[in-house]
Structure 1
Amino acid sequence: MLAALVAALVALVSSPALADESKPPALPADLVAGEVSFQGSGGLTLHGSVVSQASPKPGRPGRPGVVLVHGAGTGTPREKLLGEAVAFARQGMSVLIYDKRSEGYSLFTRSYSQLADDALGAVGALRSQPGVDPAKVGIWGLSEGGWVAPIAASRSQDIAFTIVVGANALYPLRQQTWAVAAGLRKAGVAGSLVDQAEPKLYRVIADGGMFPEPYFDPEPVIASVRQPVLGIWGVHDLLTPPRETPPIFAAALAKGGNQKYTFRYFADADHAAHRTPDSGVTRLPELAPGYAELVGSWVGEVTAGRAPAAQVTGPAPVQAEDSIGVPPAEWWESAWTQLAALVLFLVAFGGYPVVAVIRRVRRQGGPPPVKVARAVSAGGLAVVFGAFSYLFYLVMTGGKLAVPGPLVGDRPAIWLALQAFTVVTVVCTVLTALRRGRASARGERVRIGLLVTGGAVLVPWALYWGLLLP
């Protein structure tokens, strides 16, 4: 049932898989693109474009090259990174952008190792391009690519340098729960929805196998990277904890003996180091001022054999709340336990009106309905399925663009309504239990008893999800 609810929402937001090939990107007159194909993980053929200056600067017979690795998204087209490709190409590099795989990658299934092998295939293709110095080819990864690029770099000595943008040194489940909670808080939300319900829903999703690579640990991978590293973060990153990640990243590099890194924060920049006019909510097409120039000069120094000493520069990042650990679910909060509770609620709360309808269709007589029992049935169904529908909606639209609906103070009106329904349902359950003895027929007592059981189980369930907490 959980999977069905998620799948229904995914169908509304998922992108269709791309065709095997797409048209070459449209470029400014000073740049040219050459089409390439290469083998990714498992022999999958991937397609891309190499963007370079139409008239390379004299004295550069062998240009540096860089492969751009996408952030999260199924079948993301190469054009998504065209802005970066254009900017970096104008710095004298050949830049390979490629269509991300759809095969073996979805909202529920993905492998960072597989994506790293795809990136290594792209590196091999770029190293063989005319005019590119194969000893000066590196890799760049955005967001999810910040997990992928270090894996690729740790596997190949053919990679000359590594650049990460908006990268995470946290495991994916922790990063995602922080991002959605940060988005809710930015929207003005506080209380049990943020503190209880949101992280617990992610634990259930991960326990049910619907969150890929939830506990992937990037630190050992980062520690195994030997190439020079350029790390870039926007001050207003709302998807990666910008204050927490760089120190962890630096410590992991140092643990592996790598002090050849440069970390830079950019003001008025978002998760992708693009300009943002409203503290990270809106992403403008333009890169942060100085970002492309930094990449160009840094790559030039590194590929000339002048590796940087460890340094961190730029304005302090904005991060209101720390991320919190998201441990694996205990048995009593597992996906299977939650599914069993949903089945119980469906039978207990849904059975009462179903029996009444059957009796009416068959024109069978029966005892007069107990009004409070009706309230338990209706309220219980509204609470359980309303809560999960609302939470899944927040998950699917979460992160920096969280839209919790109208607020009453710092609580979403929808969440307050669900909490009110929960209180009413619990009170009516007590009243129904007190009146159960008035039912004369044995079948009616069983029917009401099942309803009361559902209401009783609802109490700890609602406490767990924060529906009975402020």
Structure 2
Amino acid sequence: MLRSERSIRVRRRLARVTHVAAGPYRLVASTALGVVVLAVLGAVMGPQWDPVPLEDPLPVTSSSTAIGHAPALKKYEVRTSVVDVQLDGATIQAQISEPVGLDAPAPGVVFVHGAGTGEYKIAFLAQARALAESGIVAMVPNKRLDTYTTRHRDYVQMAHDYDASVAVLRQHEGVDPDRVGVYAESEGGWIAPVMATVDPRIGFVVLVSSPVVPPREQAAFAVDSYLRNTGVPQEVFRAIPRAVGMSLPGGGFEYADFDVTPYQRRLTQPVLMVYGTGDASMPVLQGAEQLIGDAAVNGDTDVTVRYYEGANHGIRVDGVVSATFLRDLSGWVLGLPATADASPRVAGATPEQTYVAAPVPEPRWLGDGDIVVGTVLGSVALLVLGPLLVLLARGAELAGLGRRRPADQRPRFAPGVPWRLTGLGAGALATVVGLAWYLVSIARLALDYERNDWIVRGGWVAVRLLGVAAVVAAVLLMQRVHELHVAERVAAGGVVRKLAFGAVAAGSTVLLVVLAYWGVFQLGI
């Protein structure tokens, strides 16, 4: 009898020791399994990012950007005036800068704004003055803003609006109406080819930092390029097609897939295409190659390409518009038609483009931005609802509302459940906040062409550790619920606390899946 009791005590001690020893192992193993499951979910839920390397780049035949057959430039005094331009349903103002003392009608240039410019008082100041000083009449109209928003942009209609400015400049005294062309920068590169196709009288086209590819493709290319320059971990790139490829929340943005190719293939005018080698946002090689090929479809071979060393998106070096570019621009315009096909056709600094700007894969499951935002907000609402229900229930109990029960019979969470449940909800929410902070931080670094390993590398590690901590809390909660189930006890007593438990658990689970979708739990899958 004594031996039997002693044997039972020994087995119980061994069971307790085994349970204690197995606890950390079970936690680590279960957490690892949970992370793997989330990693697999994240991989299969959306497209990967695998850009194609650019091969056979456009050859640059000369390091000098000088325009062949360009005349020697003179310098004139400049006179400015402001005119009204009547559009369909609106009137805008435009500033005309013109040389003083010309003895013959001059060529004219109408400027087409990019996304970051809009008023003649601040846009294209250096370019317009340089053209006017060289003997060219330059017109900078204000951008029409009543039909231009972040969500809605109609490039064909915008081309029609800018063509009204072309018509005004043609009628301006001292301008040769058959030698009026357009200068388009950045976003304007989607507008100018439309103008030139609809209005064949346009004499020439200057495309500066032109995207050429559709806006969505250019955006993905720019994000990829900026992130590589910033040095982010490879795992972050998965977010590119999932963010850029989905429909954006709130609707609109139809222009994201505007394709200018059909218009470029109908060009007949001479084209000067300009890029800066310091511009990481544009496909500087692919854009020139594509325009040359598109123009050739209609027999237009008069495309001149120039690359300027270290110049940024606005062809600025150290904040100042390149003087060499301004010289070449004026010489090319004044020398037409002789400069249209003058050699070298492609010249300047050697540009770099590592990957091709290509169509962006569309997310299979979370391709609707409204659903993505609604899912996150709904999950956060559930996390808030859980504690709120408990607080309301406690308030009702303290106020004596409802059926009175002895203290030991009142509905409660089982011991160990509240802090585990709180840890799960707080961990999931903290990871979402951390991920948002990280993305905003690297976006700022990327746009400023800066690197900061503490943010770029350390921030990503911190976000992933927060995610793992949330998974640990989920595992601990599941283990506790299982223990209670074996003991035939409930994790949450009463309807209110059951609802609160379900709300926090469901909201946290959905957030973890969303975080997996955005790459927080990647394991190279």
Q: Please give the TM-score of this superposition, normalised by the length of structure 1.
A: 0.83
- 2:186 matched to 1:143? yes
Q: Indicate how the Cα distance of structure 1 residues 362 and 233 shifts in structure 2: closer, same or farther if over 3 A, else same.
A: same
Q: Indicate how the Cα distance of structure 1 residues 265 and 75 shifts in structure 2: closer, same or farther if over 3 A, else same.
A: closer
Percent identity reads 27
Pick aligned residue for 2:508 from 444, 455, 458: 455
Aligned partners of 2:291 and 2:458: how far apart in 1?
A: 36
Aligned partners of 2:298 and 2:238: how far apart in 1?
A: 37
| Structure 2 partner of 1:19 | none
| Structure 2 partner of 1:157 | 200
Preserved contact between residue 169 and residue 175 of structure 2 (Cα < 8 Å) = yes
- 2:173 matched to 1:130? yes
1:130 to partner: Cα distance = 0.4
| Structure 1 partner of 2:432 | 384
| Structure 2 partner of 1:71 | 114
| Structure 2 partner of 1:257 | 299
- 2:488 matched to 1:435? no
Q: Indicate how the Cα distance of structure 1 residues 77 and 93 shifts in structure 2: closer, same or farther if over 3 A, else same.
A: closer
Aligned partners of 1:370 and 1:31: how far apart in 2?
A: 76
Aligned pairs for 1:170-319 within 5 A: 170-193=213-236, 195-204=237-246, 206=248, 208-209=250-251, 211=253, 213-276=255-318, 284-285=319-320, 287-303=321-337, 307-308=341-342, 311-319=345-353
Q: Indicate how the Cα distance of structure 1 residues 216 and 393 shifts in structure 2: closer, same or farther if over 3 A, else same.
A: farther
1:38 to partner: Cα distance = 0.9
Aligned letter for 1:319?
Answer: Q
| Structure 1 partner of 2:392 | 358
Consecutive unaligned residues in structure 2, runs of 5 or more: 1-74, 399-409
Pick aligned residue for 1:95 from 126, 135, 138: 138
1:92 to partner: Cα distance = 1.1
Q: Secondary structure at the match of 1:236?
A: coil
Preserved contact between residue 279 and residue 312 of structure 2 (Cα < 8 Å) = yes
Q: Please give the TM-score of this superposition, normalised by the length of structure 2.
A: 0.74
Preserved contact between residue 249 and residue 368 of structure 2 (Cα < 8 Å) = yes
Q: Indicate how the Cα distance of structure 1 residues 389 and 440 shifts in structure 2: closer, same or farther if over 3 A, else same.
A: closer
| Structure 2 partner of 1:425 | 470
Preserved contact between residue 74 and residue 106 of structure 1 (Cα < 8 Å) = no
Over residues 239-260 of structure 1, what are the superposed CA-to-partner deviations in whole Å (9 max), with x where a residue is unaligned? 2121221111111111232111
1:324 to partner: Cα distance = 4.7
User: Which of the two has higher C-alpha Rg?
Assistant: 2
Over residues 223-280 of structure 1, what are the superposed CA-to-partner deviations in whole Å (9 max), with x where a residue is unaligned? 111111110111111221212211111111112321111111111211122224xxxx
Q: Indicate how the Cα distance of structure 1 residues 305 and 455 shifts in structure 2: closer, same or farther if over 3 A, else same.
A: closer
Aligned-residue CA RMSD in angstroms?
2.8
Over residues 139-184 of structure 1, what are the superposed CA-to-partner deviations in whole Å (9 max), with x where a residue is unaligned? 0100011111111111102210000000012111121222233223
Q: Indicate how the Cα distance of structure 1 residues 275 and 73 shifts in structure 2: closer, same or farther if over 3 A, else same.
A: closer
Q: Secondary structure at the match of 2:317?
A: coil
| Structure 1 partner of 2:160 | 117
Aligned partners of 1:229 and 1:29: how far apart in 2?
A: 26
| Structure 1 partner of 2:383 | 349
| Structure 1 partner of 2:94 | 48
Preserved contact between residue 239 and residue 400 of structure 1 (Cα < 8 Å) = no
Preserved contact between residue 238 and residue 400 of structure 1 (Cα < 8 Å) = no
